[in-house]
Amino acid sequence: YFFQFPSLKKKFDFKAHEGEIEDLDMSAGNKHLVTVGRDFTCNVWTGNQLTTKLNWLETMPQIAEKSYRYLACRFGRVEDQKDALRLYTVQIPHKRDRKPPPCYLTKWDGKSLLPMLTSSCGAEVLSAVAVSDSGTFLGLGTVTGSVAIYIAFSLQKLYYVHESHGIVVTDLAFLPDSLKGKSLKGRNETAMLSVAVDSRCQVHTVAIQKYFPIWLVMMFCALMVVAVVLLLQYLFPGFL
């Protein structure tokens, strides 16, 4: 069902999947609705019209079809790119093996809806996903209670706590980038809440990373080159 807000008047009513729907999300401006079903499909809709069926295996052709299913989908902004948009999907093994295969996280271009990057995110089966307001970070929770934060640009793991909760993580949420949210984060670059079946709510923080300014790095490299040239000239007169 598709409802208008704030009137809550039903606008569309259509069959999106065969069987249970796992997750859904809507892009900024309500342009696209993405739905994830247990029928191995992730569909993109414009209104009640099917726009496309996503195929994450384009980035991983070595994986057999129907060995994985989509679990979740989330749209996110792109930092420092006002009109850009990304879509993130989570894929988990369809069947559980004694030696579980990895789960995967895929990043899609929000305009072309083509896959950009797929990354393995460990053998723990994922259960929840969240995207920060800025689109900089992704949060992942697992059925075993572990919590992780990834960098959205590269899909690299930044933070991880093994079995932070005693059982399934059911939801995640980053603190907003509002003034109040920033005051709550304090000196941390980001902060995320996690809730689980163990009836606990936890806060996970990532401290602000300290980086050298690019101009300082470039100047240091230039000085190193000059020093090497002078040393060679001293050791081997007539080198230049």
Residues 172, 176: Cα–Cα separation, whole Å:
12
Condensed to tens digits (0 to 9), the pLDDT of residues 114-172 reads 999 999 999 999 999 999 999 999 999 999 999 999 999 999 999 999 999 999 999 99
Q: Where in the chain are the domains?
A: 2-211, 212-240
What local confidence, expressed as pLDDT, does residue 37 receive? 95
Residues near 19 by Cβ (< 8 Å), separated by ≥ 6? 37, 38, 39
Q: What is the mean pLDDT of residues 92-106?
A: 90
Q: How many residues comprise the chain?
A: 240
On the CB side of 240, CA atoms within 13 Å amount to: 9
Per DSSP, the residues of 37-71 read ETTS-EEEEETTEEEEE--GGGS-TTSPTTSEEEE
pLDDT in tens, 7-43: 888 888 889 999 899 999 999 877 899 999 999 999 9
CB of 149 closer than 8 Å to CB of 192: yes
Query: How many C-beta atoms lie closer than 10 Å to residue 94's C-beta?
Result: 11
Give the distance from CA 108 to its chain's centroid. Answer: 10
Where does the pLDDT of residue 230 fall: very low under 50, low under 70, confident under 90, or very high at 90 and above?
confident
Q: Which tokens is 7 given?
A: 């009137």
> Within 10 Å of residue 114's Cβ, how many Cβ atoms?
12
Would you say the C-alpha torsion 64, 104, 73, 168 has a positive or negative sign? positive
- What gap in Å lies between CA 234 and CA 124, rounded to an integer? 58
Give kind and range of the element (H or E) at residue 118.
strand 115-120
d(CA 10, CA 191): 36
The mean pLDDT of the chain is 89
| Structural element, H or E, at residue 225 | helix 214-235
pLDDT tens per residue, range 170-212 = 999 999 987 777 777 788 889 999 999 999 999 999 987 655 5
Assign domain 2-211 one CATH number from 1.10.1760.20, 2.130.10.10, 2.30.110.10, 2.40.110.10.
2.130.10.10
